[in-house]
Amino acid sequence: MKLSLTISAPGSRFAPIMLQGDYLEMIREAHRLGYETVELHIRDPKTIDADAMARTLDELGMKVSTIGTGQAYVDDRIYFTSTDPEVSAAAVQRIKDHVRLATKLGAAVIIGTIKGPLPGDPEEDQGALARAAKCLAECADFAAQHNVELTLEAINRYETNFLNTAAEAVEFLRGLDRPNVGLHLDTFHMNIEEVDLAQTIRDCRHYLFHIHLADSNRWPPGYGHLDFESVLKALKDIQYGRYMAIESLPRPNPQEGARRGREYIQGLLEEL
């Protein structure tokens, strides 16, 4: 299990990111704070100089675990379930651009809020589900050609009405049937939606590709009342060898939260 830290450029409406600033500077900052891996949340990958980023990462011996894509929905309002074909096509195109960057950086690409909401009417929901599945299948096939994996995130009911629980996301993944797309859990969302976090992890072991760590209050791990010991124990039991990214509010401040969150998780891992 490898620990990653979230980074974003400033100015997005999406708040729970640990370090916000110039990407290359923030990669250096993550390294100073003891991380070897980062998760980059990027609005438009075309604005990124991938070669300069790869050079900085190589120089520091760092890796990119994952690319977060939700800013395209939050800031640009492009998403898969849209009834406007231009909007859903723009969302697919944006994910393909992320996949091209991910190939250069060796990262996976997150499908979170960009999947969009459901209309909330049983008949209309069927159409939206079909549109989301079609968009995601196109992204998955493109990603497979580029040897990139996609992670489908279950997000709590107060942020979306589409794929709130791990079980719902797994059912959707089964219908999609693309081996390069897996389940993405987030302990903050799980704390709202799941009965038992550790059992959910065990139940989903064959699908799990990525996990976000945040405490009950969305502060970094160790600042709330979530039982991370049982979460990490379940991840160890299923022999989860992929990344865990701290995606939390930058509290009490970015540096202290990033450092103490890492120390807290590493301390628990050592005791397992």
What is the contact surface with Mn ion in residues (CB under 5 A)?
A: 186, 212, 247
Say which residues have a Cβ less than 8 Å from residue 192's Cβ, sequence separation at least 6: 156, 157, 158
Beta-bridge partner residues of 174: none
Determine the Cα–Cα distance for residues 210 and 243; give it in Å rounded to an integer.
6
Query: How many residues does this entry show for the chain?
Result: 272
203 binds ligand LER (CB under 6 A): no
Determine the interface stretch with ligand LER among 23-31, 50-58, 152-160, 161-169 (rule: CB under 6 A): 152-160
Determine the interface stretch with ligand LER among 50-58, 80-88, 91-99, 110-118 (rule: CB under 6 A): 110-118
Determine the Cα–Cα distance for residues 144 and 138; give it in Å rounded to an integer.
10
Of 98, 131, 212, 242, the one binding ligand LER by CB under 6 A = 212
153 in active site: yes
Query: Could you give the 3-state DSSP secondary structure of residue 8?
Result: strand
215 binds ligand LER (CB under 6 A): no
Of 112, 182, 220, 257, the one binding ligand LER by CB under 6 A = 112
221 binds ligand LER (CB under 6 A): no
From the CB of 73, what's the least distance to ligand LER, in Å? Answer: 8
- The active-site residue out of 29, 39, 153, 193 is 153
Q: Which entry of ligand LER, Mn ion, none binds 70, CB below 5 to 8 A by partner kind? A: ligand LER
Q: Do the beta carbons of residue 39 and residue 65 sit within 8 Å?
A: yes
From the CB of 215, what's the least distance to Mn ion, in Å? Answer: 13
71 binds ligand LER (CB under 6 A): no
Determine the Cα–Cα distance for residues 48 and 112; give it in Å rounded to an integer.
20
Residues of the chain by 3-state class (helix, strand, coil), percent to 5: 45, 15, 35
Is 94 or 212 the residue whose CB approaches ligand LER more closely? 212
- Active-site residues: which are they? 153, 247
